[in-house]
Chain A
Amino acid sequence: MGEEGTEGTVHLLCLAASSGVPLFCRSCRGGAPARQQLPFSVIGSLNGVHMFGQNLEVQLSSARTEDTTVVWKSFHDSITLIVLSSEEGASELRLERLLQMVFGAMVLLVGLEELTNIRNVERLKKELRASYCLIDSFLGDSELIGDLTQCVDCVVPPEGSVLQEALSGFAEAAGTAFGSLVVSGRVVAATESWWRLGTPEAVLLPWLVGSLPPQAARDYPVYLPHGSPTVPHRLLTLTLLPGLELCLLCGPRPPLSQLDPQSLLLSIVVASCVPSTSWSLPRTSHQSRGQQRTRWRKQPRGPRCQEPATWCLGPRSRAQAGGWWLCRWARGGCCCCCLPSVPPTRFGAWPPTLCRPSARSSDPCASATHADTAVSVSLFIRSQ
């Protein structure tokens, strides 16, 4: 299979750890979802080899062939996720993060309770179908890199403060502290409380909104993998402009129907200060094979080997990611990802920085950073 095409193939397998029953398999070839699946015997032996080790107290975590990487990860002793990727530059670090995101997505839509206590496998299978759309967007060629950085993808609007104020007012009126404006999976503005959401859901919610088919309004039950993995919340979305969506996270109230008039008001504000055309961010062509350099900043220790961020950029291969960033930079819209401990008050601050909560990785070089709390990275590319 590996030699059939130059584009890589990603297979994601989800199995019930105790019984070994496959819950779902998703495949992706060359960035687009594919029908082709692994044969059942292969799935069985991939799982079997992991289980065999576990019985002997040896956890198999990854394996590599010349062009493929396989990563195993089991969650809560009930779900085993296996990813097999022949995409070029697929590092273990990236695949491990991918599995974390996938599990987060499963919790987001099904709830942790269902996943840890599997009573009816068939029913769980059906429920998990809801998450396919989101999971496929992780596997495929997405423009977002939040899955990798574990940070929220953002767009910095020209009139950030105006939007922020309008949004806060609106959310307050609706009786919730969690509100955000999302453009194709990227956060434009959000309330203070929204930024304090835990890592998986802060990334997952905008991503989910971006991956769902366009609709005028939604009322979606979600579990928050970090905040409340067992009790569902409601995610309300309203499309203000084509591509621009308002998201609210709330309890049983308010009902969706009450939101309409106020949101109209907000949309006027939005429309007045931002021309609608600038909301779409086109993908860039990869112009150059420039030299890559990674800026890696770390304080205040002595020199240590770090894993540079370019190595984990995965299928949106390093250069591609570089070009992409550059483009956004050139257009004046920068991307900024934050973690909860750093409130994003300085939108538009330069240079754009990525904050990573920790460098948890299998890379031995990176293990040195394990104890560090915050590491900031900025990527750039010299593209002449």
Chain B
Amino acid sequence: MSSLETRLHKKMRIAIMKIGDVEPEWLDSVQKNGELFYLELSEGEEESLLPETPTVNHVRFSENEIIIEEDDYKEGKKYEPKLQRFTKILKSKSLLPKRHSKKSSNGNEPVSILKHQSNQKTGVVVQQRYKDVTIYVNPKKLTVTKAKEHLKLLEVLVGIIHQTKWSWKKSGKQSSGERLVVHGLLPGGSAMKSGQILIGDVLVAVNDVDVTSENIERVLSCIPGPMQVKLTFENAYAVKKETTQPRQKKAQSNTNDLVKLLWGEEVEGIQQNILNTPHIVMYLTLQLDSETSKEEQEILYHCPVSDASQKLKSVRGIFLTLCDMLENVTGTQVTSSSLLLNGKQIHVAYWKESDKLLLIGLPAEKVPLPQLRNMIEDVVQTLKFMYGSLDSAFCQVENVPRLDHFFSLFFQRALHPAKLHSGTSLSAQQYDASSAVLLDGLPGVRWLTLPREIKMELDTALNDLETADFAELSEDYYDMRRLYTILGSSLFYKGYLICSHLPKDDLIDIAVYCRHYCLLPLAAKQRIGQLVIWREVFPRHHLQPSTDSNTEVFQEPEGRYFLLIVGLKHYMLCVLLESGGCASKAIGNPGPDCIYVDQVKTTLQQLGGIDCRISEQLTASPSPCLSCADWFLTGSHEKLDSLTTSPILSRLPGTSKVATSPTCRRILFGDYSLKARKPSPSRSSGGSDNGCEGGEGIGLSPHTTPDAIWKQRESRGSDGSEESGALLKVTKKKVSLPNPFHLGNLKKNLSEKDLEIYNTMKLTSGPENTLFHYVALETVQGIFITPTHEEVAQLSGSIHPQLIKNFHQCCLSIRAIFQKTLVEEKKKALNRGDHSSSTNSVSSLNPVKEHGVLFECSPEKWTDQRKAPPVMAYWVVGRLFLHPKLQELYVCFHDSVTEIAIEMAFKLFFGLTL
């Protein structure tokens, strides 16, 4: 049955091949187990890198290793069905630069490439290194295609496509010329007609004249007229065999490349630095058979091997004892321990599963304990997602280099978070590094809210992909069973999730995987020219054994799951595929299927058009606007004038940003607090300006007026409030009798809708915007929102970055409290189930729902000795919502207004849907 199916597939692919032209360049990187991590940098990035570019840039087609290997051990079996999946590939037409080949393919009957390959198959046994092919060449054809002068003679005359990539040219300068690898055959060309030239062969000589990419044009141009030419090729297989050894090496160095890529040039120094920091990951077994008393037999895996880590490894006895003993004494599993090593505090997190123990140790100064706890959870989650279970991840020998890579990335991320984002602006770098403390541990993905029209477009595009209706490319067209069912997909743009059709658990699994391989920051900087990742995954959501015995309930099929990530510039599309179930069962370790890769790529290309609209949203998303901490410091007037327009301004529709900003800023700055602060002259005048100019000054400040209205409302509501500042005096007078003129004018300028927009955008309740930063986590959908990099970058200031860093660290601690609360709540709920009467316990005060900390800060460099530095107070408040669904909100705002977190949360979460 399955062989029939695969044969059908083969047929289909053959048909598909008729349209196609060139093999995808990632094909080489597919590993034996079908996994693929192919990363091609964008051109701009490549330029900045070392001349020695990663292997991924070499586009060379040859049969994959896997096939050869399988030939070796499955002698009797027919390997052809396996083979065709890799070889019969087509390239999306639109992806590559247009070639005339496609045009000509319509006219004359193309010769199937596959035929040659099957021919070649028979010749596998009798392998020669070189082969001579005689073809007929007619230079007169050249005159016909004179118009396309740029075409190479090799293509036009012989019909061999040799793709000279940009980077090749560069390296080609150093050597005497690039080897002429056959990348494709021109349909109808004499090369194809001969039936002996294969993709992957290397053209070494023409009529016994040695040729390279340098001289080939000259040599070919010497052909006077129609004649037979002898071409000497180096056999594709021979090339293959030769390069097998070095390639395996390269695959490993590739892993370093990723590290190098992400952390930039100074990676060597950092790595040395990292080696000196004590850190370790160990996977130990608790069950020892005493008979084989081998040294270090309990260590199943450990990384890294360095002197500093050696110490930690040598005291593993402590960890094992603690794990065993504390569990016996307390009845709960050990989660972490701290120890002092050379005066440095090291936290060690534990993860026990059956009789194995995973340990991660990191210095406390780099990673606070709550973060470490989140990290080990993430590591376990990712490893389970990638390998199914911890045992299968750690206990297989072939996984060791992969794990080494995994953990070297992990430690780089943990110990040098700031360096990861090198290349971006300093402020963004700081923001990333400081926010990573909190955001990396959240069970959610960073979400970018988009307007409905864009959202619709994205949804449609993803839906189209998910239906897997690829017309003549789909299996249905050929009446076959599908290879995979697409379970869902999610789309990232510059590291923000913008559209997701995946269940929450899958989404988070994928997001954590992407986070570990640092894919999101890569996409953020358009460093990706092309990214293709393919691997088998084990999503917990689908693999959980169903607890419900009811057969009516949907049962997860016993299938296998594959993750396909395709990145193109800023976009990254993650697709979760299922085989088995409705689709045909996967056999062996299937590699990426090109049809699916191409379809995903096409989808991404379709989305290229709305690229700019999304990035517009990034800079000015409808999320609440922020204030900069520095604006609230009374001492920094002079800084005010140099400030850029505040985000409020830029977001109000139809505003002229030019002349109006100072007024608005002053209003923003108007002091509302009860603290006696010297009102600066500029501030008070600005305020009164606005109030008095209600009529005439509209031209000047159309968008400050909503502010005034707001204030009016506010003062109407709270008559006795002791707001200071001149601006409110004006409005207070109007409390009983609103000035019709005033309002009339306003109506001209602002529709009600605009006002609404402004009010929803402002999260805080006072007259001015006092919000500094926020993080809102929506755990049901697995997303969180927080100000974008662009928004934060607008608020440049000296204090603000510090405030943001502080905010995130504080939130991390607050979140740790919330998590404890949740555990206790769960426990309580269980107890209640047991005996419902005993609810009134001593700990009735327990559930912490809100936790706030007030900070005070003042500028770091305060030169004026006579005056005390100005002080600004701000709150960091975390709020946990248990009902109706689990949500967490963290906000940071100025001390001057009392905020009610529930209100803020309502505003933030309203309309926030996937």
- Say whether A associates with B: yes
**A51-73 interface mask toward B, CB cutoff 8 Å, 1 = contact, 0 = none?**
01100111111111111101000
CB distance from A95 to the nearest CB of B (A): 12
Q: How far is the CA of A302 from the CA of B869 in the complex (A)?
A: 11
**B333-363 interface mask toward A, CB cutoff 8 Å, 1 = contact, 0 = none?**
1111111111001000000000000000000
A75 near B: Cβ within 8 Å? no
B340 CB contacts on chain A under 8 angstroms:
58-59, 61
Tell whether A2 pairs with B322 under 8 Å between CB atoms, given A53-B315, A364-B365: no
A319 CB contacts on chain B under 8 angstroms:
845
B640 near A: Cβ within 8 Å? no
CB distance from A236 to the nearest CB of B (A): 39
B334 near A48 with CB under 8 A, answer: no
A53 near B318 with CB under 8 A, answer: yes
Size class of A's contact patch? Answer: 35 or more
B845 near A317 with CB under 8 A, answer: yes
A52 near B318 with CB under 8 A, answer: yes
Interface window among B673-681, B763-771, B856-864: B856-864
**B283-314 interface mask toward A, CB cutoff 8 Å, 1 = contact, 0 = none?**
00000000000000000000000000001101
Chain B minimum-CB-distance residue to A66: B332
Give the residue of B317, B365, B846 whose beta carbon is less than 8 angstroms from that of A88.
Answer: B846
B345 CB contacts on chain A under 8 angstroms:
61, 362, 364
B851 near A: Cβ within 8 Å? yes
A46 near B368 with CB under 8 A, answer: no
B326 near A365 with CB under 8 A, answer: no
Q: How far is the CA of A294 from the CA of B877 in the complex (A)?
A: 10
CB-contacts of A313-365 with B (<8 A): 317-320, 362, 364-365
B338 near A362 with CB under 8 A, answer: yes
Q: How far is the CA of A311 from the CA of B331 in the complex (A)?
A: 25
Tell whether A6 pairs with B339 under 8 Å between CB atoms, given A52-B315, A61-B345, A365-B368: no
A364 near B368 with CB under 8 A, answer: yes
A265 near B: Cβ within 8 Å? no
Q: How far is the CA of A306 from the CA of B338 in the complex (A)?
A: 20
A37 near B: Cβ within 8 Å? no
CB distance from B605 to the nearest CB of A (A): 45
A49 near B318 with CB under 8 A, answer: yes
A119 near B: Cβ within 8 Å? no
A1 CB contacts on chain B under 8 angstroms:
329-331
Interface window among B5-13, B167-175, B256-264, B806-814: B806-814
A303 CB contacts on chain B under 8 angstroms:
799, 802-803, 806, 855-857, 874
Chain B interface mostly:
mixed
A302 near B331 with CB under 8 A, answer: no
Size class of B's contact patch? Answer: 35 or more
A67 near B817 with CB under 8 A, answer: no
CB distance from A257 to the nearest CB of B (A): 47
Give the residue of B325, B853, B862, B869 whose beta carbon is less than 8 angstroms from that of A49.
Answer: B325
A293 near B854 with CB under 8 A, answer: yes
Interface window among B62-70, B696-704, B836-844: B836-844
A58 near B311 with CB under 8 A, answer: yes
A63 near B859 with CB under 8 A, answer: no
CB-contacts of B191-237 with A (<8 A): none
B853 CB contacts on chain A under 8 angstroms:
293-294, 296, 306, 308
CB distance from A303 to the nearest CB of B (A): 4
B311 near A68 with CB under 8 A, answer: no
CB distance from A284 to the nearest CB of B (A): 12
B463 near A: Cβ within 8 Å? no
A302 CB contacts on chain B under 8 angstroms:
799, 802, 857-860
A126 near B: Cβ within 8 Å? no
A64 CB contacts on chain B under 8 angstroms:
334-337
B339 CB contacts on chain A under 8 angstroms:
53, 58-61
Q: How far is the CA of A160 from the CA of B177 in the complex (A)?
A: 97
B333 near A58 with CB under 8 A, answer: no
B315 near A63 with CB under 8 A, answer: no
**B773-810 interface mask toward A, CB cutoff 8 Å, 1 = contact, 0 = none?**
00000000000000000000000000100110110011
B845 near A320 with CB under 8 A, answer: yes
B850 near A: Cβ within 8 Å? yes
B860 CB contacts on chain A under 8 angstroms:
301-302
A46 CB contacts on chain B under 8 angstroms:
325
CB distance from B185 to the nearest CB of A (A): 63
B188 near A: Cβ within 8 Å? no
A65 near B335 with CB under 8 A, answer: yes
CB-contacts of B407-431 with A (<8 A): none
CB distance from B388 to the nearest CB of A (A): 26
Chain A minimum-CB-distance residue to B845: A319
A88 near B368 with CB under 8 A, answer: no
A298 near B: Cβ within 8 Å? yes
CB distance from A6 to the nearest CB of B (A): 5
A216 near B: Cβ within 8 Å? no
CB-contacts of A200-239 with B (<8 A): none
B314 CB contacts on chain A under 8 angstroms:
56
B451 near A: Cβ within 8 Å? no
A58 CB contacts on chain B under 8 angstroms:
311-312, 315, 318, 339-341
B124 CB contacts on chain A under 8 angstroms:
none
B851 near A84 with CB under 8 A, answer: no
Chain B minimum-CB-distance residue to A323: B845
B467 near A: Cβ within 8 Å? no
CB-contacts of B161-185 with A (<8 A): none
CB distance from A292 to the nearest CB of B (A): 6
Tell whether A364 pairs with B855 under 8 Å between CB atoms, given A66-B335, A305-B809, A320-B845: no
Q: How far is the CA of A62 from the CA of B348 in the complex (A)?
A: 10
B852 near A294 with CB under 8 A, answer: yes
Give the residue of A7, A63, A307, A310 whose beta carbon is less than 8 angstroms from that of B336.
Answer: A63
CB-contacts of A34-53 with B (<8 A): 38, 42, 45-46, 48-49, 52-53
B321 near A: Cβ within 8 Å? yes
A299 CB contacts on chain B under 8 angstroms:
856, 858, 871
Q: How far is the CA of A144 from the CA of B368 in the complex (A)?
A: 30
A62 near B845 with CB under 8 A, answer: no
Tell whether A38 pairs with B841 under 8 Å between CB atoms, given A294-B854, A304-B806, A362-B345: no
A86 CB contacts on chain B under 8 angstroms:
330
Tell whether A317 pairs with B335 under 8 Å between CB atoms, given A302-B857, A307-B813, A362-B345: no
B847 near A: Cβ within 8 Å? yes
Tell whether A63 pairs with B329 under 8 Å between CB atoms, given A292-B848, A303-B802, A303-B803: no
B329 near A42 with CB under 8 A, answer: yes
A88 near B321 with CB under 8 A, answer: no
CB distance from A9 to the nearest CB of B (A): 9
B369 near A: Cβ within 8 Å? yes
B824 near A88 with CB under 8 A, answer: yes
A293 near B852 with CB under 8 A, answer: yes
B433 near A: Cβ within 8 Å? no
CB distance from B752 to the nearest CB of A (A): 35
**B812-841 interface mask toward A, CB cutoff 8 Å, 1 = contact, 0 = none?**
010001000001100000000000000001
A245 CB contacts on chain B under 8 angstroms:
none
A295 near B: Cβ within 8 Å? yes
Q: How far is the CA of A80 from the CA of B336 in the complex (A)?
A: 21
B43 near A: Cβ within 8 Å? no
B327 near A: Cβ within 8 Å? yes
Q: How far is the CA of A45 from the CA of B858 in the complex (A)?
A: 50
Give the residue of B332, B337, B845 whose beta carbon is less than 8 angstroms from that of A67.
Answer: B332
Chain A minimum-CB-distance residue to B817: A311
B275 near A: Cβ within 8 Å? no
B317 near A52 with CB under 8 A, answer: yes
26 contacts between A and B (CB under 8 A): A2-B330, A6-B841, A7-B842, A49-B318, A49-B321, A52-B315, A53-B318, A53-B339, A56-B315, A57-B342, A60-B338, A63-B322, A63-B334, A67-B330, A86-B330, A88-B843, A292-B848, A292-B850, A294-B854, A300-B869, A301-B858, A302-B799, A317-B846, A364-B364, A364-B369, A367-B365
A67-B332, A300-B868, A303-B802 given; 11 more Cβ-contact pairs under 8 Å: A2-B331, A45-B321, A52-B317, A57-B311, A64-B334, A298-B855, A303-B874, A304-B806, A305-B813, A311-B813, A364-B365
User: Which 4 interchain pairs have the tightest Cβ spacing?
Assistant: A63-B337, A303-B857, A305-B809, A66-B332
